[in-house]
């Protein structure tokens, strides 16, 4: 698939068919992640591929707990009807973890130490583009408490959970999300 087409046509998918995703496809998506740039090429990412149903159910329960908590805290009514069943039905969920020690020179800067997270986010974007090019839907999901997700997935205490990528064949056509004109978000210094 052509790169601009992949970027433009990728959608956040919240409705998956239960058809399993093959190991070879998962490996291609992870390889794409690994091509992302990172500070000092430290490749700070790690991946946990979850296909076990009981673990997906635990992720669902944690996300649903967060949803209720955020609804109370924010008063955002849409959260009341925001269904999270895709966490149970997505055939695969890949957790991306980052290593804060692999953050590059910004480890010495006062406000720094986030370079490893940015690199992991770039890797996640590659995963979405790869998934779309391979005919899969994907969703970048971050609605969890870090401590809870560490326990569910047994994440090394020295690593930071960055996000979850839900993967599978789309159960329907995901709705396109409109984009603002980037020209209105751009300043030129000539």
Stretch that binds a second copy, among 83-91, 119-127, 166-174 (CB under 8 A): 119-127
Sites for a second copy among residues 80-99 (CB under 8 A): none
Q: Which of 24, 73, 80, 158 binds a second copy (CB under 8 A)?
A: 73
Tell me how far apart the alpha carbons of residues 142 and 129 are, in angstroms, rounded to a whole number.
18
What kind and span of H or E run contains 70? Answer: helix 53-74
Residue in 117, 173, 118, 164 with CA at minimum distance from that of residue 139: 164
Indicate whether 37 belongs to the interface with a second copy (CB under 8 A): yes
Contact indicator for 5, 107 with CB cutoff of 8 Å: no
For residues 121-180, which are near a second copy according to CB under 8 A? 121-122, 124-126, 128-130, 133, 140, 142-143, 145-146, 153, 162-163, 177-180
- What residues between 42 and 61 interact with a second copy by CB under 8 A? 43, 45-52, 55
Cβ of residue 151: shortest distance to a second copy, in angstroms?
13
The first and second tokens of residue 44, run together, are 């700070």
> How far apart are alpha carbons 39 and 20 in whole angstroms?
35
- Contact in structure between 161 and 142 (CB atoms under 8 Å): no
Residue 133 vs 136, nearer CB to a second copy: 133
What is the smallest separation between the CB atom of 164 and a second copy, expressed in angstroms?
A: 12
């Amino acid at each position: 698939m052509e790169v601009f087409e992949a970027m433009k046509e990728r959608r956040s998918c919240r409705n998956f068919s239960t058809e399993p995703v093959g190991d070879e496809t998962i490996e291609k998506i992870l390889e794409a992640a690994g091509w992302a740039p990172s500070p000092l090429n430290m490749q700070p990412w790690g991946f946990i591929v979850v296909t076990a149903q009981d673990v997906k159910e635990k992720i669902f329960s944690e996300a649903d707990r967060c949803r209720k908590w955020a609804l109370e805290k924010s008063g955002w009514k849409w959260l009341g009807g925001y269904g999270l069943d895709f966490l149970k039905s997505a055939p695969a969920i890949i957790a991306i973890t980052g290593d804060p020690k692999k953050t590059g020179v910004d480890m010495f800067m006062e406000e720094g130490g986030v370079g490893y997270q940015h690199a992991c986010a770039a890797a996640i974007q590659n995963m979405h583009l790869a998934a779309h090019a391979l005919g899969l839907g994907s969703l970048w999901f971050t609605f969890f408490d870090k401590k809870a997700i560490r326990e569910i997935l047994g994440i090394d205490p020295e690593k930071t959970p960055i996000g979850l990528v839900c993967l599978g064949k789309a159960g329907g056509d995901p709705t396109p999300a409109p984009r603002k004109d980037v020209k209105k978000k751009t300043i030129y210094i000539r």
